[in-house]
């Protein structure tokens, strides 16, 4: 019998995996970066539920903000669409 905490963990892990798969599949790189930011934010919520608030704060600050800004700056300097070989 699952507890409410276990059900919340399962639902949250499913919602964390969906943006990660989308970031691999999608061709628009800007949309991939936004999906990665959403995944990082949900992952920080997951860390908080697993009693690691230290890691959650670091993940929310670095993963959801600074790497997103770095990826967007890199996309602006290169090209937005992924090309097929």
Partner 1 sequence: MNDGRMSIIVRTIATMLLPFILVFSFYVIMHGHLTPGGGFQGGAIAASAIVMMIAAYGHERMKKKVSEEGLSMAESIGAAIFALVAFAGVFMATSFMYNFLVGTPVFGKIPPFGGNSGILDSGGVLPILNIAVGMKVIGGLAAVVMIMAMAGDEE
Task: Examine residue 6 and tell whether it contacts partner 1 (CB under 8 A).
Answer: no
CB nearer to partner 1: give 25 or 73.
73
In angstroms, give the least distance from the CB of 78 to partner 1.
9
Of 54, 50, 26, 52, which is closest to residue 38 (Cα–Cα)?
A: 26
DSSP conformation class of 24: H
DSSP conformation class of 81: B
Query: In the numeric block, which tokens belong to residue 6?
Result: 């276990």
Instruction: Choose the binding region for partner 1 from 3-11, 21-29, 32-40, 67-75 (rule: CB under 8 A).
Output: 67-75
Task: Examine residue 70 and tell whether it contacts partner 1 (CB under 8 A).
Answer: yes
Task: Examine residue 66 and tell whether it contacts partner 1 (CB under 8 A).
Answer: yes
Task: Examine residue 50 and tell whether it contacts partner 1 (CB under 8 A).
Answer: no
Helix, coil or strand: residue 28: strand
């Amino acid at each position: 019998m699952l507890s409410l905490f276990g059900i919340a963990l399962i639902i949250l892990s499913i919602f964390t995996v969906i943006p990660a798969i989308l970031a691999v599949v999608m061709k628009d790189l800007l949309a991939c970066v936004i999906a990665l930011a959403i995944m990082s934010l949900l992952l920080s919520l997951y860390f908080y539920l697993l009693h690691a608030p230290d890691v959650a704060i670091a993940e929310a600050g670095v993963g959801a903000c600074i790497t997103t800004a770095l990826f967007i700056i890199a996309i602006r300097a290169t090209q937005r669409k992924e090309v097929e070989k």
